[in-house]
Amino acid sequence: MGVNTNNDFIVIKAAEDGVNVIGLTRGTDTRFHHSEKLDKGEVMIAQFTEHTSAIKIRGKALIQTGHGEIESETKK
């Protein structure tokens, strides 16, 4: 029996160049395992998996999930 992950996709649309979508590992050790760079207008569709327990988004983006929609911002 594997990890009970949710199959829902999350949609990330970059609102500026250089947005980073960072996958963090599942398990006792929480670390970055993947970083994807998106330029303005690019979209990434991702899931939580056996390997990915959290996703960090750095930069300005629109994020849509089954829990709703949120915008990430950059610090001024």
Tell me whether residue 6 or residue 47 sits nearer to ligand TRP (CB atom): 47
Residue with nearest beta carbon to ligand TRP:
23
Dihedral, 15, 52, 29, 32 alpha carbons, nearest 10: -30
Tell me whether residue 28 or residue 76 sits nearer to ligand TRP (CB atom): 28
Is 21 a binder of ligand TRP (CB under 6 A)? yes
Q: Give how many residues touch ligand TRP by CB under 6 A.
A: 10
Q: Write out the binding residues for ligand TRP, residues 55-74 only, by CB under 6 A.
A: 55
Measured CA to CA, the distance from residue 26 to residue 54 in angstroms comes to 8
Measured CA to CA, the distance from residue 34 to residue 30 in angstroms comes to 12
**Are 9 and 46 spatial neighbours (Cβ–Cβ below 8 Å)?**
yes
Interface residues with ligand TRP (CB under 6 A)? 21, 23, 34, 36, 46-47, 49, 51-52, 55
